[in-house]
Amino acid sequence: MRKEKIPAATIIRLSVYQRYLKRLLANGVKVVSSSELAYEASVNPAQLRKDLSYFGRFGVRGVGYDVASLLNTISGILGLLDEWRVVLVGAGPIGKALLRHPQFSKQGYVFEAVFDVDPNHVGKDLVDGHVVKDISELPKVIKEKDIQLAVLAVPSEKAQEVADILVECGIKGILNFCTTRIKVPRGVSVQYVDFTILLDTLTYKISQHSIEGKEDSVNSTKPKWAREHSWPVVQSNSHRQGVSLTS
Amino acid sequence: MRKEKIPAATIIRLSVYQRYLKRLLANGVKVVSSSELAYEASVNPAQLRKDLSYFGRFGVRGVGYDVASLLNTISGILGLLDEWRVVLVGAGPIGKALLRHPQFSKQGYVFEAVFDVDPNHVGKDLVDGHVVKDISELPKVIKEKDIQLAVLAVPSEKAQEVADILVECGIKGILNFCTTRIKVPRGVSVQYVDFTILLDTLTYKISQHSIEGKEDSVNSTKPKWAREHSWPVVQSNSHRQGVSLTS
């Protein structure tokens, strides 16, 4: 594995490759070409090869990638060979929706316990036997179950207070649905989820269309793959501004 | 405005700048330095200046940016000077959570109507008077209200079918909470939201920490701003792999 800076976009694309490889494996496909795998992730084959090159040499020229082997390698890189236990803090509508979302368990993320700071939520059976625990029980659960991941979905004004507790308990990664920035020490990572920022990207494109009001794109000479979307962060089938994380 | 390709990451950072400028304005701050604004978006000042340079010349050297003026300009670029009416398709837990999420209205996104393909949901008062309409009413509402944005939160197997209807009705931007890829024609943009991909980025970092098992980072020589998070897509306070969209 080369010791160099790996772009965030590469890691995100690894997740996309991994999901597609899982589907292929489930469908009994044994070998996939770089062009097909690249297409699914909406990058060009050169980008795919560059992404993989950070981690070694894969595939056979003219043949393609062995699906099971590449899936195993990428899953290993992403740390997804085993299940991850996750604590959820926040028993509001977002927390409830996440608990019910099938994608988490499908990807090996298991909600171990649900906590809330609001006494009104504590003790309630939120979803399928997930009884909301008081935040004071958090340290014990995290320690006993050796949990490193937390999903934070409390009201924004409680975000920092809860983040401090999570960090104190040894949590290393926080998926933060609160719109406030939280401060965490080195060694702890935070991913923010703000749906409205993604909407802004859409309104930007729609607005640029309205302003330009004509069909010719500044990127009309780009090859098709470059005009495809860069799932999951940005998809553009409009291409007027060529918004793409892959370029 | 320069006619060149504008990176997706720039558009996302514009949203971050915009939110911070709004907060500053609300707090009565009149002028902000590029270093402060850059810090809030976790980029270096040169990146901020580069982002803005796509759209013209802003700020006064040694003084900074006029908060109200820059906010107005960025909001204009993003198409956020007016409210956007949005249709929501999908009255399940995710849809319900989104309807209740205060961030949408705060950012000028107004849910005009809620639809579902499941007859069991139709007619129910989902949240605060939002009665779920049958999907057959979608074209009429979109046309009458001149709506261009849709949020898609139906079961994955229904995603393409509903997307086709949305496109047919003239929707130009879709925020897609379904994990399946959807096909849309040119001129229509899709943004995907897959929470588990963000979790993968966290597991990647945690796993890399475990493998390396020591404190020295490959990016330890990077300046502080480069080691800050690149909100909202990736925050890393761990920096072992230097995952950053800003580089």
Question: What ipTM describes this predicted complex?
Answer: 0.82
pLDDT at residue number A77? 94
The answer to the question of residue A1 being in a domain is: no
Q: Confirm or reject contact between A75 and chain B (CB < 8 A).
A: no
Q: Determine which helix (DSSP H) or strand (DSSP E) holds A70, and give its type and residue range.
A: helix A67-78
Residue A225's alpha-carbon distances to A20, A220, A241, B4, in angstroms, are 17, 12, 15, 18
User: How many CB atoms are located within 10 Å of the residue B147 CB?
Assistant: 22
Q: What six digits make up the tokens of A69?
A: 């082997």
Residue A187's alpha-carbon distances to A11, A139, B216, B217, in angstroms, are 18, 18, 12, 11
State the average pLDDT over residues A180-204: 90
d(CA B226, CA B244): 8
Tell me which of B49, B78, B107 is where a domain ends.
B78
Which residues of chain B lie closer than 8 angstroms to A200, CB-CB? 11-12, 14-15, 18, 78, 80, 107
Please tell me the total count of domains within chain B: 3
Q: Break chain A down into helix, strand, coil percent, rounded to 5.
A: 45, 15, 40
Which residues of chain B lie closer than 8 angstroms to A175, CB-CB? 195, 198-199, 202
Q: Which of B177, B197, B215, B219 to mutate to test the interface with A (most CBs of A within 10 A)?
A: B197
d(CA A132, CA A151): 14
Q: Confirm or reject contact between A23 and chain B (CB < 8 A).
A: no
Tell me which of A30, A50, A78 is where a domain ends.
A78
Residues 6+ apart with CB under 8 A from B210: none
Residues A117, A180, single domain; the answer is yes
Tell me which of A78, A95, A117 is where a domain ends.
A78
Residues A184, A135, single domain; the answer is yes
Q: Which residues of B40-76 are buried (b: 16+ CB within 10 A; e: fewer)?
A: bbbbbeebbeebbebbeebbeeeebbbbeebbebbbe
Its sign, for the CA torsion B200, B204, B206, B210, is positive
Residue A115 three-state SS: strand
Residues A59, A159, single domain; the answer is no
Residue B119 three-state SS: coil
Q: Which of B73, B235, B247 to mutate to test the interface with A (most CBs of A within 10 A)?
A: B235
d(CA B179, CA B157): 10
Q: Confirm or reject contact between A224 and chain B (CB < 8 A).
A: no
What is the pTM assigned to this prediction? 0.80
Residues 6+ apart with CB under 8 A from B104: A195, A196, A199, B86, B98, B110, B111
Residues A188, A91, single domain; the answer is yes
User: Could A187 and B209 be called an inter-chain contact, meaning their C-beta atoms sit closer than 8 Å?
Assistant: yes
Residues A188, A219, single domain; the answer is no
Of A11, A107, A218, the CB nearest to B204: A11
Residue B100 three-state SS: helix
The answer to the question of residue B42 being in a domain is: yes
Residues A143, A210, single domain; the answer is no
Of residues A93, A200, A236, A204, the one with CA closest to residue B109: A200
The answer to the question of residue A144 being in a domain is: yes
Residues A137, A204, single domain; the answer is no
User: Could B207 and A148 be called an inter-chain contact, meaning their C-beta atoms sit closer than 8 Å?
Assistant: no
Q: Confirm or reject contact between B190 and chain A (CB < 8 A).
A: yes
The answer to whether the beta carbons of residues A36 and A45 sit under 8 Å apart is no
Residues A15, A48, single domain; the answer is yes
Please give the share of chain A, as a percent, with pLDDT higher than 90: 64
Q: Confirm or reject contact between A135 and chain B (CB < 8 A).
A: no
User: Could A234 and B98 be called an inter-chain contact, meaning their C-beta atoms sit closer than 8 Å?
Assistant: no
**pLDDT digits 0-9 by tens, A32-78:** 999 999 988 778 899 999 999 999 888 888 889 999 999 999 999 99
- Min distance A218 CA to chain B CA atoms (Å): 6
Q: How confident is the model at residue A212 (pLDDT cuts 50, 70, 90)?
A: low
d(CA A185, CA A178): 18
Residues B26, B118, single domain; the answer is no
d(CA B244, CA B231): 9
The answer to the question of residue A156 being in a domain is: yes
- Min distance B90 CA to chain A CA atoms (Å): 12
Q: Confirm or reject contact between B16 and chain A (CB < 8 A).
A: yes
Question: Tokens 């261009």 label which residue?
Answer: B148
- Residue B39, domain CATH: 1.10.10.10
Q: Confirm or reject contact between B14 and chain A (CB < 8 A).
A: yes
User: Could B7 and A101 be called an inter-chain contact, meaning their C-beta atoms sit closer than 8 Å?
Assistant: no
The answer to whether the beta carbons of residues B162 and B95 sit under 8 Å apart is no
Residues A178, A99, single domain; the answer is yes
Weakest mean pLDDT among A188-192, A224-228, B59-63: A224-228
Mean pLDDT by 10 residues, chain B (247 residues): 72 92 95 91 88 88 91 95 96 93 92 94 91 96 96 94 96 92 91 89 88 44 34 30 27
The answer to the question of residue B1 being in a domain is: no
The answer to the question of residue A55 being in a domain is: yes
d(CA B179, CA B174): 13
Q: Mean pLDDT across chain B, nearest whole number?
A: 83
Which residues of chain A lie closer than 8 angstroms to B56, CB-CB? none
- Residue A103, domain CATH: 3.40.50.720
Give the range of the structural domain holding residue B94, as residue numbers without chain letter: 84-193
Of residues B46, B62, B55, B60, the one with CA closest to residue B18: B55
Q: Confirm or reject contact between A233 and chain B (CB < 8 A).
A: yes
Residues B96, B113, single domain; the answer is yes
Residues A93, A185, single domain; the answer is yes
User: How many CB atoms are located within 10 Å of the residue B141 CB?
Assistant: 16
Q: Could you tell me how many CB contacts below 8 A there are between chain A and chain B? A: 284
State the average pLDDT over residues A175-187: 89
User: Could B218 and A5 be called an inter-chain contact, meaning their C-beta atoms sit closer than 8 Å?
Assistant: yes
Q: How confident is the model at residue A3 (pLDDT cuts 50, 70, 90)?
A: low
d(CA A230, CA B5): 15
- Min distance B112 CA to chain A CA atoms (Å): 15
The answer to the question of residue B29 being in a domain is: yes
The answer to the question of residue A231 being in a domain is: yes
CA terminus-to-terminus distance, chain B = 24
Q: Does residue A240 have a pLDDT over 50?
A: no
